Amino acid sequence: MLRPSLRKPNQMRPVSMETAVNKWAEGSCLIKIGGTHVLCTASVDFNQPTWKRMQHKTGGWVTADYSMLPRATDMRKSRESLLNDKRSMEISRMIGRALRSVVDMEALGKNTIYIDCDVIQADGGTRCAAITGGFVAMSLAVRWMMENERLMENPIREHIAAVSAGIWNNELILDLDYEEDHDAEMDANFVVAEGGQFIEVQSTGEQHPFDKSQLGEIMDMAAVAAEKLINLQKKVLE
């Protein structure tokens, strides 16, 4: 069965990443994956977070905040409801975990990098776009710190990207848009490091259980797509 977008099962939507889109942030990236557009900014604070200072911890920290603009979806959401959105809190934690997984906190020194991911327009896969674009913004912030002699070495060990996949109409598909995600039998998000190793897997059987072979096939599909996203990250960071 043809997908609503007429894509092949293993075909992603068009992807673009534009850097230096925010005048003030030390690093910024506007990532577009089909109809999903996310503005990612990285802000540098030359201090540890309060909890690290209180516990006399060494090293720095990377943290993330994810939110949607009121009209990012088909119906407007009030700003008050967005401020207390538990889904956004859960996604924020996921983005932070993903980005911290490839950063040497000791090499980061006593600095904090804040990643803000604001969804301008949502059409499925917003958390994956936020992680992929957030990595680019973080990389640019680290580059800024090194150029300004705030860091002596690059604390980022390797690239990461994230991609969604799932089962829709009994077919394994990559990069679900909203229409597919809404009716998916299985929905999954994968955070993948350079070389195809997995950092985080979120997978839910929405309508019925799925088996190990299906998950394995989807993971293979996601690894290939993540490699393409990482290659694009490297290109825009040149």
pLDDT of residue 22: 98
Task: Please tell me whether the overall predicted TM-score, pTM, comes out greater than 0.85 for this model.
Answer: yes
% residues pLDDT > 70 (the chain) = 100
**Among candidates 87, 68, 100, 60, which has minimal Cα distance to 200?**
100
pLDDT tens, residue by residue, 124-178: 999 999 999 999 999 999 999 999 999 999 999 999 999 999 999 989 999 999 9
Question: Which range has the worst mean pLDDT, 8-17, 160-169, 205-214?
Answer: 205-214
Q: Which residues contact 18 (CB under 8 A, 6 or more apart)?
A: 29, 30, 31, 236
The CATH number of domain 15-236, selected from 3.40.50.300, 3.30.230.70, 3.40.50.720, 2.160.10.10:
3.30.230.70
The CA-atom distances, in angstroms, between 77 and each of 5, 85, 105 are 26, 11, 37
Per-residue pLDDT averaged across 177-192, rounded?
Answer: 92
Describe the chain by its helix, strand, coil percentages, rounded to 5: 35, 30, 35
Q: Taking 90 as the threshold, does the pLDDT of residue 85 lie above it?
A: no
Q: What is the pLDDT of residue 184?
A: 86
Domain ranges in the chain? 15-236
